[in-house]
Copies of this chain bind each other. A is one copy, B any other.
Amino acid sequence: MYKVKVFVTLKESVLDPQGSAVKGSLHRMEYNEVQDVRIGKYLELTIEDSVQDLDKSVREMCEKLLSNPVIEDYRYEVEEVVAK
């Protein structure tokens, strides 16, 4: 089995209103050292060994469903898990 960790983030040029709201809250809580907050998604996919081409499969899933390529970037890490 593979555990694939996918990180989906807004592109640099795209405004992040959710991140700005969190930054505002942190400042109101006196965490003035926080300069910026950007919020993304983190997904963990568990994928069977039987998959033909893991990288192709993950890239397709990211591009078709998990991210919006117009405004988001994604990257992923693969970990092999030994079944118990």
Judged by a CB distance under 8 angstroms, whether A15 is at the interface is no
When distances are taken between beta carbons in the complex, the residues of chain B under 8 Å from A26 are 61, 65
Cβ contact of A22, chosen from B31, B35, B39, B43, cutoff 8 A: B43
Q: A36–B45 contact, CB under 8 A?
A: yes
Contact A65:B29 (CB < 8 A) given known A42-B40, A43-B22: yes
Interface size class of chain A, counting residues whose CB lies under 8 Å from the partner chain: 20 to 34
In the complex the two chains form, what is the Cα distance from A33 to B50 in whole Å? 7
Which of A7, A25, A39 counts the most chain B CB atoms within 10 A?
A39
When distances are taken between beta carbons in the complex, the residues of chain B under 8 Å from A38 are 43-44
Q: A42–B7 contact, CB under 8 A?
A: yes
0/1 interface trace, chain A 53-82, chain B, CB 8 Å (1 if under):
000010011001110000000000000000
